[in-house]
């Protein structure tokens, strides 16, 4: 008899996919937004929130109904013992590549948590110079990895010059461009009165953004669609998370590597703009790149 609730990793094993790949399918079903479950999933009993001993929230998925939805979507259960299918397929982007001529630096960021929660890695890739930075910690979440990647990418970029940050986490983009300022106005409380998760990281990121003298824009990139810099950041973050399980990836680890240059695509949000919908608004995870304003 199937378990009442399954983690994303367990769902991935059922279909021979990684947790991140399953997450993409859950998002396409409208059950997942960023690293959390949607109101639709929670209200329908398809997802439930759980909390680790350290207070870190995470979500589990209905062990019977969600696999049925995934099968109806076209996924095929894996043979017992089969390894996860990790191949990445590029998809067409409806909009042409966005020129990067107006930016002094373009940085791709990504985070990863093995098992989410679990060993966590972060990484940034400087598309302008080819430099990279990555690191990890023994325990965390995808959200923590994404926030660390942004914080370290901003530190690398410095306060001057026009900067474009490219990320596949709408959670991080929303925090940087909308939510953090709203939370601060309410005394660091969300709309429901709760204290925001990962608050110290959020505060550090807001300080770095407000200290910048140059323009700062954010672009959402759909993950695992063949974008060379997003894929590189993902690879580095996953490697750092794996190394963190053995203590081999200090949080501040970094390296410099050659990197081919490609132009980003999709919608761009400005950190200095004011968005409609308030600081707790949710940006839908759609098939096309999202323009946040």
Model confidence over 94-133: pLDDT tens digits?
344 455 678 999 999 999 999 888 999 999 999 999 999 9
Cα–Cα nearest to 143, from 167, 166, 160, 108: 167
pLDDT digits (tens, 9 = 90+) for 24-37: 889 888 898 877 88
User: What average pLDDT is seen over the chain?
Assistant: 79
Strands 118-126 and 47-51: unpaired
pLDDT in tens, 206-225: 999 999 999 999 998 887 77
Question: Where residue 54 falls among pLDDT bands split at 50, 70, 90?
Answer: low
d(Cα 109, Cα 218) in Å, to the nearest integer?
Answer: 11
Element (H, E) at 149: helix 142-157
How many helices (H) and strands (E) would you count in the chain? Answer: 9, 12
Looking at the annotation, which residues are catalytic? 110-111, 146, 168, 224, 234
Task: Give dist(CA 9, CA 117) in Å, integer.
Answer: 10
Angle at 283 between CA 229 and CA 206, to 5 degrees: 70
Residue 207 phi, psi (nearest 5)? -60, -45
Classify residue 98 by its DSSP letter: P
Q: What pLDDT does 27 receive?
A: 85
Tokens at 99, concatenated: 């020129």
166-197 pLDDT, tens per residue? 999 889 999 999 999 999 999 999 888 999 99
The reported pTM is 0.60
| The dihedral sign for the CA sequence 49, 17, 10, 251 | negative
For residue 160, is the peptide bond before it cis, meaning its omega torsion is within 30 degrees of 0? no
């Amino acid at each position: 008899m199937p378990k009442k609730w399954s983690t994303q990793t367990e769902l991935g094993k059922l279909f021979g996919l990684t947790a991140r790949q399953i997450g993409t399918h859950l998002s396409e079903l409208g059950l997942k937004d960023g690293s959390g479950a949607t109101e639709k999933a929670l209200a329908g009993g398809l997802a439930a929130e759980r909390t680790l001993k350290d207070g870190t929230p995470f979500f589990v998925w209905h062990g019977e109904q969600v696999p049925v939805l995934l099968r109806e979507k076209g996924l095929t259960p894996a043979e017992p013992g089969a390894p996860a299918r990790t191949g990445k397929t590029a998809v067409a982007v409806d909009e042409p590549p966005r020129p990067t001529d107006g930016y002094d630096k373009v940085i791709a960021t990504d985070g990863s948590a093995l098992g989410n929660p679990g060993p966590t890695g972060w990484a940034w890739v400087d598309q302008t110079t080819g430099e990279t930075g990555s690191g990890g910690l023994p325990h965390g979440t995808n959200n923590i990895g994404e926030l660390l990647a942004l914080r370290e990418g901003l530190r690398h970029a410095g306060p001057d010059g026009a900067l474009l940050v490219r990320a596949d986490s709408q959670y991080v983009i929303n925090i940087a461009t909308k939510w953090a300022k709203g939370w601060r106005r309410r005394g660091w409380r969300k709309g429901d009165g709760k204290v925001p998760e990962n608050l110290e990281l959020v505060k550090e990121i807001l300080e770095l953004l407000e200290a910048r003298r140059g323009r700062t824009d954010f672009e959402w990139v759909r993950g695992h669609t063949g974008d060379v810099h997003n894929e590189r950041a993902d690879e580095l973050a996953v490697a750092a998370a794996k190394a963190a399980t053995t203590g081999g990836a200090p949080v501040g680890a970094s390296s410099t590597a050659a990197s081919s240059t490609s132009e980003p695509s999709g919608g761009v949000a400005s950190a200095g703009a004011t968005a409609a919908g308030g600081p707790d608004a949710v940006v839908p995870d759609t098939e096309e790149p999202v323009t946040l304003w």
